[in-house]
Amino acid sequence: MGRNTRQRTAIRRAFEHAGRPLRPRECLELARGEVPDLGIATVYRNVNALVDAGWLRVVELPGTPDRYETAGRNHHHHFHCRRCDGVYEVETCPGGFAAMAPTGYRVEDHDLILYGVCRSCVG
């Protein structure tokens, strides 16, 4: 993964402190609080390295660019705000998805995305 530079440290802290999936541009805005001259190319390069190292994981939402969150978390789902485009974690899982599959099919994984308006945008 390479050496731990001040840029990479700021990028890691941005993900840790956000506590939610971030787009690279969101990470850039947060990390610039620590490293003002940080550039988007550096963020992309480090995000890719952190994904390859298993520290970050990709969060895919249909019709949107990939976001990233810290890896190693318990199973969870996401809420996507239609106003601000923010993505937030949903800690609960209703389960029971195997019963929804057609007879003879085996469910191996699932993703659940809730769509609506976040508390900041409702206000």
pLDDT (tens place) for every residue of the chain, 123 residues total: 567 799 999 999 999 999 899 999 999 999 999 999 999 999 999 999 999 999 999 999 999 999 999 999 888 999 999 999 999 999 888 888 899 999 999 999 998 999 999 999 997
Residues of each domain in the chain carrying CATH 3.30.1490: 77-122
CB 79 within 8 A of CB 114: yes
Residues of each domain in the chain carrying CATH 1.10.10.10: 6-70
What contacts 13, CB < 8 A, 6 or more positions away?
Answer: 31, 34
Reference 70, options 29, 18, 114, 3; nearest CA is: 18
Q: Which CATH code fits 77-122?
A: 3.30.1490
pTM recorded for the entire structure? 0.85
6-70 architecture in CATH?
Answer: Orthogonal Bundle (1.10)
| Per-residue burial over 81-119, b = 16 or more CB atoms within 10 Å of its CB, e = otherwise | beeeebbeeeeeeeeeeeeeeeeeeeeeeeeeeeeeebe
Reference 86, options 106, 111, 103, 69; nearest CA is: 69
